[in-house]
Amino acid sequence: MRFLGHSTVRFELAGKTVLTDPVLTGRVGGLTRVAEPLAPGTWAGADLVLISHLHGDHLHVPSLRLIGQDVPIVVPRGAGAWLRRRGFTRVRELDVGESLVEEGLTVTAVRAEHSGHRWGPRFTHGPQAPATGHLVAAGGTTVYVAGDTDLHDGMSELSEVDVALLPVWGWGPNLGPGHLDPERAAEAVRLVRPRVTVPVHWGTLAVPGIARTARMRRLLVEPPLRFADAAADDTEVLVTQPGDAVPLPAPPALPAKPAQPAPLASPAPPAPLATPNSPTGNPQLARTEGSTRAHPRESSLPCGRVAGSARSSRGIGAEVGR
């Protein structure tokens, strides 16, 4: 698993590579990427793309074109035709509560408390489809991809989540409606009860004109640390800098089986607990080798680079949903 920045995570499950809400370019609408740029290899080979909602920092057509027009894309129900008109050939729609199987992965759309309109909550023209999160499951492992959401009761109905990708901030100095700040994201953890949580939706995009202000520089770093402090008792928080591999832990050891009486005939050899070619012992969630675990207190600025443009921030809300 690798956190590519903002809501973009690349992970492998059952041998398939999933990309969530891909934002891969140096510019996204009126926002600039302040995290390190991504190399093409970080998105190459995707088997499935998940789109949580239509806002420009989640459904980013130039990034989707980089991945390829023929890669399967799951979008909220009602958004398929809009994307197909832009040349994407394998678009599948999911409404909240619906599931599909793609590439051997079971994907279920779950509720998200967030504006579903392409241009954010303040406009009424243009495409509209309900914002969703996703559960991605295979081989007994479930990843919860929250998308953008505020707290809601349905979170407590998500069961058996192994890894949650939870938003803890955004791209601006303030959060609009339908978002989680670090403390509310910790509340979400108490509802969802994931074994491991990766804070996302922070440290990646900013308004060019204010990216260098003291407040914004703080907000590009602090949200996941505040989240880690607030949620530490309830989940294992893996604070990962944009672009870095997520240091997933090995799965919990299986309980020892009770002693069996000696068999009369030659028994079959015991089944291995792990796939032989899985370096982490986890056959489902392959960990990228060479990753290091980011301790919250050791984190530094995620980005040395801030693009120098002073492009006006006007119209950003219309280009990138908050």
Shortest approach of Zn ion to residue 74 CB, angstroms? 17
Nearer to Zn ion, 93 or 148 (CB): 148
- Are the beta carbons of 148 and 201 closer than 8 angstroms? yes
Shortest approach of Zn ion to residue 201 CB, angstroms? 6
Using CB under 5 A, count the residues that bind Zn ion. 2
> Dihedrals φ, ψ of 293, to 5°?
-80, 130
Pick the piece of the chain touching Zn ion (CB under 5 A) from 64-72, 100-108, 147-155, 212-220. 147-155
Shortest approach of Zn ion to residue 165 CB, angstroms? 12
Nearer to Zn ion, 146 or 158 (CB): 146
Binding-residue pattern over the window 44 to 63 for Zn ion, x denoting contact by CB under 5 A: -------------x------
Pick the piece of the chain touching Zn ion (CB under 5 A) from 87-95, 115-123, 142-150, 264-272. 142-150
- Are the beta carbons of 39 and 101 closer than 8 angstroms? no
Of all residues in the shown chain, the one whose CB is closest to Zn ion is 148
Using CB under 5 A as the binding rule, the residues of this chain from 291 to 320 that contact Zn ion are none
Shortest approach of Zn ion to residue 58 CB, angstroms? 5
Q: Is residue 244 part of the contact set for Zn ion (CB under 5 A)? A: no
Task: Quote the CA–CA distance of 47 and 103 in Å, as a whole number.
Answer: 7
Nearer to Zn ion, 149 or 235 (CB): 149
Enumerate residues 6+ apart whose C-beta is below 8 A from 256: none
Shortest approach of Zn ion to residue 262 CB, angstroms? 60
| Neighbouring C-alpha atoms within 13 Å toward the C-beta of 188 | 33
Which strands form 2-5's sheet, in the order they lie side by side?
Answer: 2-5, 8-13, 16-20, 48-50, 73-76, 91-94
Shortest approach of Zn ion to residue 63 CB, angstroms? 14
> CA nearest 49: which of 16, 85, 3, 1?
16
Nearer to Zn ion, 57 or 113 (CB): 57
Give the C-alpha distances (Å, rounded to integers) separating 131 from 192, 240, 299.
18, 25, 31
| Entry field: residues in the chain | 322
Using CB under 5 A as the binding rule, the residues of this chain from 198 to 217 that contact Zn ion are none
Nearer to Zn ion, 179 or 287 (CB): 179
Shortest approach of Zn ion to residue 39 CB, angstroms? 23
Using CB under 5 A as the binding rule, the residues of this chain from 87 to 106 that contact Zn ion are none
DSSP per residue over 263-309, as a string?
PSSPPPPPPPSS-TT-TTS-SSSPPPTT-----GGG---S-S-----
Nearer to Zn ion, 17 or 115 (CB): 115
Helices (H), 154-295: 182-192, 214-219, 222-231
Shortest approach of Zn ion to residue 179 CB, angstroms? 8
Nearer to Zn ion, 148 or 244 (CB): 148
Q: Is residue 148 part of the contact set for Zn ion (CB under 5 A)? A: yes
Nearer to Zn ion, 102 or 148 (CB): 148
User: Coil, helix or strand for 3?
Assistant: strand
Catalog residues that contact Zn ion under the rule CB under 5 A: 57, 148
